[in-house]
Amino acid sequence: MTKAAILGTGSCLPERMLSNADLERMVETSDEWITTRTGIRSRRIAGRGEQNYQLATKAALLALAESGIAPEELDLIVVATVSPHMIMPSTACFVQAELGATKAFAYDVNAACAGFTYSLDLASNYIQNRPDMKILVIGAETLSARVNWEDRNTCVLFGDGAGAVVVTGTADGRGVFGSNLRSDGKLWNLLYMDSPESYNPDLRREEWQGPFVRMNGGDVFKHAVRLMEDSVTSLLRQHGLTIDDIDLMIPHQANIRILNNLRERLGISEERVFVNLSQYGNTSAASIPIALDEAYRQGRMARGDIVLLCTFGGGLTWGALLMRW
């Protein structure tokens, strides 16, 4: 049976590193607080020439080179992002233009931190219909542009970056073989980013406080652990697998305490969970594809391995996806 397999991966991180010590000079915080509460030591912050679509394009070029696919061969470009370059056109259209991917249609997916996993699932579904499709799936964020740099509750958590994969249909056993994606819009106000202020006075909202990321950290934490655990266990059960069958789990990188809690509840050993959170912080939709690229380059996945992605973000959105590498 044909499945959507990843042919190549790539990632791009901005040059500028912002350490916890740098943040100590910006808000009332400490390296000790950030490290013990989150596991984050530094993050990358985009500068000139590092707009969302530019990071995305660099990551894409690396994934295409690794795949041996030319931009003109692409059929579809999907960019998962909540910090797009513009609201319209999509960041994916900017990437298409940069790459010269003339044949491809392009659009963005907004599913917050879960965006890359949702998009990979989407690509997998396209490929069920048209196995020859060549699809570029990107997670890219410049959340530094959307964070309130005076709010210590959020500004220490996020970072910028992009990761990309090229996907096509194969019948050699590799590829995505299951997913369990969920949302709960009733809990939207636990984690959100408001839009720019309305120019239509009738649509203006009294509670509007600026287009920043806002979060109820404690509640998000509790939901993240429980809901990721639920989606992973039910997906494994559905495929007759146990956690011992997983060779590598690549979770969304938000907080080391969330990851440790999740790891303990699932009963998966530390060496089978990929973590790079300390260097990049929470890069939202970019976190899993960056981690995937690094895991691949570090030789953490061998052909035939079962890889589990699990994710959680604003919406709420969450879920898990299984693939054979």
> Nearest Cα to 116, choosing from 262, 318, 323, 325?
318
Catalytic residue (choose from 252, 255, 261, 310):
252
In the complex, the smallest distance separating the C-beta of residue 48 from ligand UT7, rounded to whole angstroms, is 27
> Nearest Cα to 252, choosing from 52, 116, 148, 121?
116
Stretch that binds ligand UT7, among 12-20, 57-65, 85-93, 215-223 (CB under 6 A): 215-223
The string over 264-280, giving b where at least 16 C-beta atoms fall within 10 Å of a residue's C-beta and e elsewhere, is ebbebeeeebbbbbebb
The answer to whether residue 29 forms part of the interface with ligand UT7 (CB under 6 A) is: yes
According to CB under 6 A, which residues from 189 to 208 bind ligand UT7?
191
Residue closer to ligand UT7 (CB basis): 57 or 255: 255
- Give backbone dihedrals phi and psi of 162, rounded to 5 degrees, phi first: -150, 145
In the complex, the smallest distance separating the C-beta of residue 116 from ligand UT7, rounded to whole angstroms, is 12
The answer to whether residue 217 forms part of the interface with ligand UT7 (CB under 6 A) is: yes
Number of residues that bind ligand UT7 (CB under 6 A): 21
The answer to whether residue 220 forms part of the interface with ligand UT7 (CB under 6 A) is: yes
The answer to whether residue 159 forms part of the interface with ligand UT7 (CB under 6 A) is: no
CA torsion sign, 247 to 250 to 251 to 254?
positive
> Nearest Cα to 43, choosing from 155, 194, 175, 211?
155
Binding to ligand UT7 by CB under 6 A, coded x per residue (else -) over 40-79, reads ----------------------------------------
First to last CA, the chain: 15
The answer to whether residue 313 forms part of the interface with ligand UT7 (CB under 6 A) is: yes
Residue closer to ligand UT7 (CB basis): 90 or 255: 255
List 62's β-bridge partners, or say none. Answer: none
> Taking a C-beta distance cutoff of 8 angstroms, is the pair 162, 56 a contact?
yes
Give how far the C-alpha of residue 282 lies from the chain's centroid of Cα atoms, to the nearest Å.
Answer: 9
In the complex, the smallest distance separating the C-beta of residue 18 from ligand UT7, rounded to whole angstroms, is 13
The answer to whether residue 117 forms part of the interface with ligand UT7 (CB under 6 A) is: no
Q: How far is CA 107 from CA 79, 88, 117, 198, 298, in A?
A: 7, 10, 15, 24, 31
Stretch that binds ligand UT7, among 31-39, 43-51, 76-84, 93-101 (CB under 6 A): 31-39
Does the annotation mark 223 as catalytic? no
Does the annotation mark 85 as catalytic? no
In the complex, the smallest distance separating the C-beta of residue 242 from ligand UT7, rounded to whole angstroms, is 26
For residue 80, the surrounding DSSP H or E stretch is strand 76-80
> Nearest Cα to 12, choosing from 61, 73, 80, 58?
58
Does the annotation mark 239 as catalytic? no
**Which residues would be at the binding site for ligand UT7 (CB under 6 A)?**
29, 33-34, 37-38, 113, 152-153, 156, 191, 217-218, 220-221, 224, 254-255, 258, 282, 312-313
Point out the residues that are catalytic: 113, 252, 282
